[in-house]
Structure 1
């Protein structure tokens, strides 16, 4: 079967969005639901928000599912719940969950004070979590002969304007994992890509960001605009769509042109 024959339209997909109950994850869930996909709204602590979002979409196409994505057992149970609920396996995985973090440069520790356990927490929440979800989804994706894995990154690789040492290091590792997995899983018809943003106006994580920072970023972009979560979510849809069937191992920066290389 040719690759293009295996592509699944968005309206026929079953999507798992980790950390989908709030912030950027909520916008990603809504974007997929708008296109007709079935969505599992994963959460760790945001039960109320996740259940409200699933109810907003409708129980026939969305449900809230609790799992700590750093826990391999819970992630395996998550994908089993998806199969049981929708009667089919996940076709797309969006690794969006973010370990506890506040995007406020003034409050983040600088090089002289940051501790290794802060790095470790970000690696657990970003890299280990993504590894868990990919490994849990992989048997089903291989059986289907296709699949989409989309990791959420950051433009701080290219322009580290704030001292988010731990967060940026973990996301850089996730980009490396994106590219090595793209090579490894390509023969199975599975694409692995990353969508990287800058500061978003506004999510739960960026709620502590001073307004002057938003204004400064807006003035530094060609669009004179700070990207909204809804705009970022639309770019995620591209990598899940049939139009991206020949794209893998890529990192798409969605930040209004703040970073251009």
Structure 2
């Protein structure tokens, strides 16, 4: 392994670590030498993940809508591991009821809008704020925010989710600018569709075909594809990269409108 990609001796917090991208990132980071705190609202699932990695992982219950639980999580990480070098803000508002309620602005309930912003923006801000003194003390702190390709494009639905992820992109730039001279880098990764176990089970086949038809690659993303980007951005190999949003969507966002129709027209 290229030496700069090593995370040996680093301590990372991964919020939403019990989910698909979180689990893949934990596996990769531990494999590269890091110790990892798995912060998740589903403590039983986080504990099941942590059990795979022995002393290298610690499960902590955390609710992004509960400021006190965030503060307790950060204190617990420092008590247990002694430091924080990496923060992966990966947790997000989830649930079929929220996805179903995330309509266009004209049909959006205030409660749905507030739920997404309370979790994705307010919660992420608090985690970042509480971790920052320790990331500064590290001397080479790295923050990686999981955003979304939908933050960069318009859609007929999912207006609350996409707005929060766009706000997180600006938060990424702001933190990178304010704390770069204090030794902290902050970047974001913007996945497209990622086939986690939940998505693979619940995603409508017709919609999956739509995504595949618009993807220049011959596959949609898997959790480990995103984990590789996160681990890179957290490592010294990315030491001169900060304030950036790295799009990891298989090329969905790069092409002209009508891409799938052009492919059909030219027989490709």
Q: What TM-score do you get using the length of structure 2 for normalisation?
A: 0.87
For 1:104-119, list aligned pairs within 5 A: 108-119=102-113
Deviations 1:56-99 (A, max 9, x none): 111x100110111232222221111112222x211000111111
For 1:69, the equivalent position in structure 2 comes to 64
- Higher mean C-alpha displacement, 171-180 vs 202-211: 202-211
- Higher mean C-alpha displacement, 77-86 vs 231-240: 77-86
2:38 pairs with 1:41: yes
For 1:51, the equivalent position in structure 2 comes to 47
Identify if the C-alpha distance between structure 1 residues 15 and 138 changes in structure 2 by more than 3 Å, giving closer, same or farther. Answer: same
Deviations 1:122-165 (A, max 9, x none): 11111111111111111122222220111111111333345100
Return the match for 2:254 from 242, 257, 260: 260
Q: Quote the RMSD (CA, aligned, Å).
A: 2.2
User: 1:203 and 1:159 mapped to 2: Cα distance?
Assistant: 25
User: 1:8 and 1:189 mapped to 2: Cα distance?
Assistant: 18
Whether contact under 8 Å (2:176, 2:243) holds in the other structure is: yes
For 2:221, the equivalent position in structure 1 comes to 227
User: 2:200 and 2:94 mapped to 1: Cα distance?
Assistant: 12
Deviations 1:1-37 (A, max 9, x none): xxxxxx9941221010011112222222222122121
Deviations 1:211-235 (A, max 9, x none): 2222221221111210011111111
For 1:4, the equivalent position in structure 2 comes to none
Q: Which structure: larger Rg?
A: 2
Aligned residues: 252
Say which SS state the counterpart of residue 223 (structure 1) adopts.
coil
Identify if the C-alpha distance between structure 1 residues 134 and 222 changes in structure 2 by more than 3 Å, giving closer, same or farther. Answer: same
**Greater helix fraction, Structure 1 or Structure 2:** 2
Say which SS state the counterpart of residue 221 (structure 1) adopts.
coil
Alignment gaps of 5+ in structure 1: 1-6
- Higher mean C-alpha displacement, 166-175 vs 115-124: 115-124
Identify if the C-alpha distance between structure 1 residues 107 and 143 changes in structure 2 by more than 3 Å, giving closer, same or farther. Answer: closer
For 1:77-156, list aligned pairs within 5 A: 77-86=72-81, 88-102=82-96, 108-156=102-150
2:233 pairs with 1:239: yes
Q: Which runs of 4+ in 1 moved over 6 A?
A: 103-107
Q: What TM-score do you get using the length of structure 1 for normalisation?
A: 0.89
Shift of 1:103: 9.9
Return the match for 1:30 from 23, 27, 32: 27
Alignment gaps of 5+ in structure 2: 256-268
Shift of 1:253: 0.6
Shift of 1:202: 2.5
2:165 pairs with 1:171: yes
- Higher mean C-alpha displacement, 180-189 vs 200-209: 200-209
For 2:259, the equivalent position in structure 1 comes to none
- Higher mean C-alpha displacement, 153-162 vs 239-248: 153-162
User: 2:216 and 2:98 mapped to 1: Cα distance?
Assistant: 23
